[in-house]
Amino acid sequence: MPTKKIFFFDWNSNFDADLPAWAQDSKMFIGQYVSLRGLPTSWRNTKQAIASNRSGKVTNGFMKALIRAAMIDSGANADGFGLNDRYAMGEMTLDGTFTGTTINANGLVACVLYDRTTGKFLKSSGYDHKTNGSAPYFLALWNYFMESMPDFAPTFNNFCTEWKQSPMNEDVCRSMACVLADMVYEHVQSDKFLCCDKDEIRDLTETRMRSSTTKPAQYTGILAHFGQVTRGRNKSANPDGRVMSTADFCGKFSFRTEPLSAEQEKLVPKLTESYIVDEWLVLVCKHIQKTTGRPRPVRNILLRGAPGVGKSEMYTGIAAGCHLPLYTFAANAMTEPFDLFGQFVPVDENGEQCGGKMSLRQILKDMPSVEDFSMDPVYTYEELTGEKKSDATSLDCMAAAFTKASQQTATPSGQQRFKFVPGQLITAMKFGGVWGFDEVTLPQNPGVVPALNPAMDATQSITLPTGEIVRRHPDCIFVGTTNLDLEGCRNLNQAWQDRCQLIIDLPEPTEEVLKARVKSMVNWDETNDSKIVDLDRFISVYRSLQEIARKHRLEDGVIGPRKLADWVLSTLVTENPNQSAQITIIPGATSDARGIAEMKEKLEDSFPA
């Protein structure tokens, strides 16, 4: 891809003295910043897992726009950015204020308007980017970036969260600044972004700014010039991350041509208004709906992220948004390949079930092991059948073993002593629906996840142990979830991951999203519960406890939104945050004595007796 010259990218390698001290690390401005904690500093490396020291290169204009956008997001007394169907716009005060939320009201204001259909820029007279810097151009495009790049908004929200911390984690903010700068540069270099030459920039008149055509449909901060009669604040998305109401979302992305049966209708999730429909969920549902009818419609999805970021809630939302029944399977370390497809149960002389699930090892005793099926299927198949099959798979071995076991355990009347009962995966494959596969990296048997491969590629089928071939329904959606960094997780099978058409790395929730989720989980009573629990303070301490766990590399537990909700709920009972923390969030985080002591100290500082 040839490099485009974008006039507002000034590659001066020196930082501007107006920037705060943490943002004056010169390595960021030459593309050589390396995070002390090993955090990503390049968007391309983040998405493609390139092993290199390449860092996102920051410019003065971008860094100023990023910090000012964070100030605006935190409620600054001036400046803003917005968007409508045709234009993106921004207002930025040109002074050296890049901390807090107070901006010099007497400073020169630069207004910039960007026409998304032509790539033309207009700027207010008196503003010259050569003299005053290019930050207003970046700020004017901020809402456009948030809309055009799915990962930009959550990354920016995470930056804002860290930027507001006291003390601020400078390494985290520098790393995210590099990633955001890299993300923007990648986007403006693509064919999706239209941009005029610097000589084509025209002055923006007051009449044009106040025209109804340039009035923002959504905006963050204060846009006093673009069609706004009075100053106000209208976030581009609700602060809790909600992009549409639950009522509007449910069924909005339905694509099924045949009606659901009465039984299927019962399995379609019913979401309440407390469920947060965020941009990630809408993006996935759009892909599922809009690619229907194409040769390879989006039907295989992988969700990655830390515990509590909402992976299971997302596949529930996918089923609700697409109006499909939901089926689930939770893997564990002992999961075997055919646990995915169903289970074996004992039956009596009449073929009726007469007991609970039988282990595969019981049924296949005195035969090759399940591990043999995966490790050497060709030899194992010949051992079971006496026939050579050069392309034998673990599925073929299982079907052969099942047949042989059935013959060996037949009763005098000819009835089998066990039968195979298909699981929810097979129901979803036969009739359509969303199948949520939780913890795909937990099974220790390496053959578990690849057992799904035939259903996810051109074959679009699975062979059951009984020999039955099940064809995949066109409305069957696989959604896998994984926590890559948790103890006990294996590396994800590459062949299976390659079949996942969408791979979504869900970010840590912002403070406002955390609030909304916690309130939903504890059935928050705004009148009474707010008198006992200060959610803002709890979330601040929660972030500090996470930082302690990271600092000491405590990996024997989890500090996630669920534990935060447990702590809040317990405190509503005890009315004692310290006491409740010692039976919820702290023991859930670690059993390390040093880590526990430091966390308790943090709690005592935050909630003195």
Residue-wise pLDDT for 353-406, tens only, equals: 776 666 656 666 667 766 677 778 899 888 888 899 998 887 778 778 777 765
Omega before 167 within 30 of 0, i.e. cis = yes
pLDDT digits 0-9 by tens, 504-552:
888 777 777 888 889 988 989 888 998 999 998 899 899 889 889 888 8
Backbone dihedral angles phi then psi of residue 578, each to the nearest 5 degrees? -65, -45
Residues 26 and 163 in one domain: yes
Residue 6 resides in a domain = no
pLDDT digits 0-9 by tens, 307-332:
878 889 999 999 999 999 999 999 88
Amino acid at 508: E
Closest CA to 266 of 324, 317, 203, 305: 324
Mean pLDDT, range 21-37, rounded to an integer: 91
Question: On the CB side of 494, how many CA atoms lie within 13 Å of its CA?
Answer: 0
What is the per-residue pLDDT for 238? Answer: 57
Residue 306 resides in a domain = no
Asked if residue 80 has pLDDT above 70, the reply is: yes
Q: Which of 400, 422, 444 is the last residue of a domain?
A: 422
What is the per-residue pLDDT for 228? Answer: 54
Q: Which of 393, 422, 451 is the last residue of a domain?
A: 422
523, with CB counted inside 10 A (0-12, 13-18, 19+), is exposed
Residue 483 resides in a domain = no
Write the DSSP symbol of residue 353.
B
- The whole-angstrom distance between residue 499's C-alpha and the CA centroid of its chain comes to 19
What is the per-residue pLDDT for 349? Answer: 67
Domain count, the chain: 3
Residue 376 resides in a domain = yes
What is the per-residue pLDDT for 351? Answer: 64
Higher pLDDT, 502 or 345: 502
What is the per-residue pLDDT for 487? Answer: 52
Residue 274 resides in a domain = no
Q: Which of 49-53, 287-291, 318-322, 479-483 has the lowest mean pLDDT?
A: 49-53
Residues 524 and 414 in one domain: no
Domain that holds residue 574: 511-606
Residue 195 resides in a domain = yes
Residues 206 and 105 in one domain: yes
Asked if residue 167 has pLDDT above 60, the reply is: yes
Residue 383 resides in a domain = yes
Higher pLDDT, 45 or 199: 199
pLDDT digits 0-9 by tens, 181-198:
999 998 998 888 999 998
Q: Which of 203, 221, 239 is the last residue of a domain?
A: 221
What is the per-residue pLDDT for 356? Answer: 66
Cβ-count burial 255-275 (b if 16+ within 10 Å, e if not) = bbeeebeeebeebbbebeeeb
- The whole-angstrom distance between residue 274's C-alpha and the CA centroid of its chain comes to 19
Residues 184 and 84 in one domain: yes
Mean pLDDT, range 478-482, rounded to an integer: 93
Residues 63 and 206 in one domain: yes
CB 412 within 8 A of CB 419: no
Alpha-carbon span 205 to 198, nearest angstrom: 18
What is the per-residue pLDDT for 24? Answer: 94
Asked if residue 450 has pLDDT above 70, the reply is: yes
What is the per-residue pLDDT for 451? Answer: 84
Residue 282 resides in a domain = no
Residues 182 and 63 in one domain: yes
Average pLDDT, the chain: 84
Counting runs of H as helices and runs of E as strands, what totals does the chain give?
A: 25, 15
Residues 519 and 417 in one domain: no
CB 478 within 8 A of CB 452: yes
